[in-house]
Structure 1
């Protein structure tokens, strides 16, 4: 089976890019001849890992959408894949059009519950532009053979917003390799904390996310003074690339107290940071899956998450993570304090969460389901 995977970039920042590079070796081993086309220049990105996995990588960089569309169409005709798979908005719109113009079946991943009320009222987003993007997405979606959604929540939401039949959407989450994640050990914890110059007995809360409105890091920083009043020695680590919310987050961090909040920037060792933390916070306003929460489940760190639909679906229930209403700093602070104070209860949730990860989110399991999705899309399996 020959698949051309079209994605906006292969940078090391986004969840979609990380999901692709994690799954690529598994797909190739399963017999998929994998081509990857990316639209935005991505210096220092995942090109080497994709090539090492056995994929053939193409940068389709043009100064205009029309140019990128022409480049994709030419690539489809040159490579002649059996199936084109698109992920993220720009790639969805242009990749679908390029595939259809070349007479090639196309499938798309739905990685977020886009175009909802939360997007219309998000800081920095223009409601008219959101609706215009939705219209274009919906039009190009009509020619798409099947869709892959990360969660049932995304499938249900996007079926209505793109005006496609729900039975054309298959749900397959992202996965991770348990060996790559590793687990929490005293040696790993000590080594990471030593590198960060953090004593072993200092309570540490970690969040790992892009500094964007969706991720709710401002809510976490608004909650932090209450955590600090209860546990004055606690430290908050923020790992992730800068974004539109960075200036606001730095102001909130300054108000929370110098030295109590540390911005670590984009990191390649997030799993190690998780293993050194006493709690992992995911205060998102919305998610498509919640990859960071899923990874924390695999590593084995206590989770405190916003109780939004996709995150609840990923973590399961309060048996696996502390769930709090989104945009409620007081509730978030209380859950963090409880997690830091009651290590025994947190450990019970951690054990259950890791078992859930091993059942639902291992890379081997998820990759097999993705191959089945491709086969259904090519009518090689019963729909």
Structure 2
């Protein structure tokens, strides 16, 4: 690693959205960046300035963050003319460049030869609600990802299950590939601050967006007759890229007051959320891993997730939950009831397995090892 007084960085991480924006992809980039900085690495992050109130340059958690002005947005995509150039400029001063894909600008960033090796973290094939514009955007991003992977020294994926079912598998299969699960925080020790009754409490935590399939969870929950049952829905809906489905959830909550909308949770509030629920639900129709479901598992809360490559992997790896068909509220309802009957011993075994496999330190060890292999 660089000497403290040397110019430049050990690693430059490029990601479209960065903290304080909250998503699984963003959290992976943040935890890896801050974790490596805590280990003495010199780390820079380049991101688009998704909120114009944010500073263009600041240091967060020991990481130098460079934000690029945004002139427009298309669905979830941010148009930042200076983004690619800024990444290339910082990459020239760094010993390795870590690109978080999918990213439209990635192909442009890697178009010209560079002495800085690229390690690409490929999270998921881009999914957007269907329209003429979004289909064109998904096609363009796919081309960019293919170009970037061909020019990468190595790729990181959340799991081989995710990679093998990706449209990028022909490239990922034949290049140096490292399966590193997303880093998940151990959030034990919370208080059941959101628990309202002695009845079963089911929880969802994540962005309130179309790809999370929340309408199927609402339908499944509505078939639970217990008046003391609660569905706790936590997550951001005010600043999510591409638009939220909060209006549908509010309509459902108006019909069924047992549905509680908690909004964005941070820090200790997240610990308290997991301490308040009996089962976690991740009814996604597009998912690459699901950090929140693993954090719930670590706290002894089993997860119902959908049978999607990558998203189902934590349940397959730990046995801590159930896997159901996407868009099937009947099957989801049955799985919720089954998991509510799990005893303490089964929950404890699953929690131990989740903590052993998906903790932050193990993730950082593996990322550091990959970067060291390719440091210029």
TM-score (normalizing by structure 2): 0.83
2:96 aligns to what?
83
How many residues of Structure 1 are paired with residues of Structure 2 in the alignment?
Answer: 352
* Per-residue deviation, residues 78-137 of structure 1 (Å, max 9, x unmatched): xx1011111143376167337x4553221211112x15xxx48x4557334322321232
Q: 1:169 to 1:96 in 2, by over 3 A?
A: farther
Gaps of 5+ in 1: none
* Per-residue deviation, residues 145-193 of structure 1 (Å, max 9, x unmatched): 2111111122223474574544322110122343xx1246xxx22xx13
Q: Is the 8 A contact 2:315 2:322 kept in 1?
A: no
* Secondary structure of 2:165 counterpart: helix
Q: Is the 8 A contact 2:220 2:329 kept in 1?
A: yes
The reply on whether 1:235 has 2:230 as its aligned counterpart is: yes
The reply on whether 1:365 has 2:362 as its aligned counterpart is: yes
Rounded to whole Å, the distance in 1 between the matches of 2:91 and 2:171 is 27
Q: Is the 8 A contact 2:305 2:324 kept in 1?
A: yes
The Cα shift of 1:293 comes to 1.0
Q: 1:175 to 1:68 in 2, by over 3 A?
A: closer
Moved more, 59-68 or 361-370: 59-68
The reply on whether 1:35 has 2:50 as its aligned counterpart is: no
Q: 1:43 to 1:334 in 2, by over 3 A?
A: farther
Gaps of 5+ in 2: 2-9, 72-78, 238-242
Rounded to whole Å, the distance in 2 between the matches of 1:146 and 1:110 is 10
TM-score (normalizing by structure 1): 0.82
Q: 1:46 to 1:299 in 2, by over 3 A?
A: farther
The reply on whether 1:175 has 2:190 as its aligned counterpart is: no
1:311 aligns to what?
311
Rounded to whole Å, the distance in 1 between the matches of 2:346 and 2:309 is 19
Q: Is the 8 A contact 1:146 1:168 kept in 2?
A: yes
Rounded to whole Å, the distance in 2 between the matches of 1:83 and 1:89 is 19
Rounded to whole Å, the distance in 1 between the matches of 2:110 and 2:146 is 12
Q: 1:95 to 1:366 in 2, by over 3 A?
A: farther
* Secondary structure of 2:312 counterpart: helix
Q: 1:54 to 1:377 in 2, by over 3 A?
A: same
The reply on whether 1:107 has 2:116 as its aligned counterpart is: no
The Cα shift of 1:357 comes to 1.7
The reply on whether 1:339 has 2:345 as its aligned counterpart is: no
The reply on whether 1:211 has 2:182 as its aligned counterpart is: no
Q: Is the 8 A contact 1:9 1:42 kept in 2?
A: no
* Root mean square deviation, CA, Å: 2.9
